[in-house]
Each structure stands twice: as C-alpha cells, then as structure tokens.
Amino acid sequence: MSDTPAHPDGHGGATGSHSHDHADGHSHGDTSTRKLALVAVINLLGFLAELAGGLLFGSVALLSDAVHMLFDALAYVMAFAASYVATRYDTSDRYSFGLHRLEPLSAFLNGALLLPMVGFILYESSQRFVDPVAIATVPTLAIAVGGLLVNLLSVYVIEGGEMSLNERGAFYHLLGDAGGSIAVIVSVLAIEYTGIRVLDPITAGLIALVIVWSAGKLLRGSGRIFLHRTPLDVEAVREAIEGADGVARVADLHAWQICSEITIATTHVETDEVADGGALTKEIHGILDANDVDHATVELCPAGGGHAHLTAHDH
C-alpha cells in the first residue's frame, strides 16, 4: 500500500512544483485584508453622514439605508479582522491549516447580523405608514447621492480578480447599499413631485428585501463550507482519475473547503499490478490540481487487496 501524505507544498511527496500556491495565497490574503480595511473606513464615514441626515431631515428610507451601511461597516470590520488573523497565523501542530476557518465564520455572522436590521427597518416603515412625516428634500437628496458615491467607491476598491468569500460578502453588501441609495434618491424625488409621503416607508421596505437577499447569499456561501459541500464535480474528477494508466478504480474520493481559498481532497485509488506508483501519484495530483485542489492526499492500493478501513468508516 502506498500512502502519499500532504507535502509542505500541499500536493504530496510525488510532486514539488506547486509551492507557489501558498505564496500567492498569502499575497492575495494581504491584498484582501487591505481592501476590507479601506472599505470598512469608507462605510463608517458614510454611515455617520446618512444617520445624521436621516435624523435631521426625517427620512426613514435614508435612516434605514444608514443602518444598513452601519451593519455593513461592522461586517467589513469583522471580515478584516478574520482575514488579518488568518493570513498572519501560521500553521501549527494544533491548527494544521492555521485559522482560515475564521473566514466562513465571519461571513456567516455577517449574514446573520443583516436579519435583525430587516426587522428594525420594517418596524420604522410601519410607523411611517401610520404617521407620515415631511421630508427635507434637498439635504436628504444630497446625503443620499453622497451615500451612493461612497458605495460606488467601495465597489471600485473591492472588485477585481478572484474574490475571497469575505470579499464576495462585502461586494454583495455594497451592491445592496448602492441599490438602497438609488431607491432613496428616487423616492425623495417622487415625494417632491407627487406629495405622496408613504413612498418613503415603501422604499425602506424594498431596501429590507435587498438586505434579505444579501443575507441569504452570505449564509448559503458560508453554510456550504461549514457543511463540507463538495466544491468540485466528483464524477468528472473520478472519471479523469480512472482514465489514468494503471488505475483499476477510484474506491474513495472526498473534497471539501477550509475556506473559500483552500480546497482539500483525499482519494483512495486501486491500481493494477503493473502500475508505476510514483508516476501515477504525480498524475493524480495533477488532475486534482487542475480542479483547483490546494491540498491532496492520494492513497494507492493494489486492486482486490481488501480495504477494511473503508468499511470501518462507512464509505
């Protein structure tokens, strides 16, 4: 039986050509951390401006967008902290993959934090339906436009290249914020020209729906990682491995993610008697690498040799 454990380069002893993956990952992690920090600062400033405007000028839509921006800013702070710690905490015997699981944990908490915000917005909107108030059009419109510019600047900072789970979470938040700012602008103009004040709480309710959509995206993305949803096409990978010379069949294949940037795979492969173990292991690692697997363990055993551990683990 040949057991090829994960090498420090993440691809087993048979290959040594993938050490660049970790250097690239660390570099991307630093870039991601800086982006999240900058976006957090931008949105905290935007929140303060919109909160002041909503309280001073009576717009619940602007106030709800301010609260949305506050929760987003807190989400970016959490994402920044998780990214900063994960990229600087080395692997150890106690944490063999470092603290990269902080990324999906942070994303999950960010999504969960969006939900109470929806309740607040809907409550405020219902109060304005009962008792509509006058809105100071010009200053409210000016602050809403400023909020939109903040969101667009943040989108410019965060987008580009392959985004991590936390960056994608921030991106979804920012799209929701931009939509909220546009909705506030439209509602203020509509109220100014029609005099229908209930358009303000209606707009706030629409922003709440956008927030629910954003929360759902984050919770699904992080939940898939926590529940070890397979991040690749298992059947296609299985067929590719079984197509390699010397492979009798793939007895076992598992793949999961530590975070959005680290994919793990293990496979138990039955081989023909004439198979070259070293060359075959290298080929299988190549197949897994082509499917974005960062760390792989490949176990080779002669076909028909019996595999008691598979039964014991209920594979």
DSSP string for 246-309: TEEEEEEEEEEEEETTEEEEEEEEEE-TT--HHHHHHHHHHHHHHTT-SEEEEEEEETTS--HH
Q: Write the pLDDT tens digit of every residue in 226-277.
A: 999 999 999 999 999 999 888 989 999 999 998 877 899 999 999 887 667 8
Q: Alpha-carbon distance 279 to 125, whole Å?
A: 66
Q: What is the CA radius of gyration of the chain?
A: 25
* Per-residue pLDDT tens over the stretch 241-253: 999 888 989 999 9
Rounded-to-integer distance, Cα 281 and Cα 288, Å: 11
pLDDT per residue as tens digits for the range 14-57: 333 333 344 444 444 456 677 777 777 877 887 888 788 778 87
Beta strands in the chain (DSSP E): 2-4, 247-259, 262-271, 295-302
- pTM of the prediction? 0.64
d(CA 153, CA 68): 17
Report phi then psi at 254, rounded to 5.
Answer: -130, 145
What pLDDT score does 233 carry? Answer: 93
> Using CB atoms within 10 A of its CB, is residue 305 exposed (0-12), middle (13-18) or buried (19+)?
exposed
Parallel, antiparallel or unpaired: strands 2-4 and 247-259: unpaired
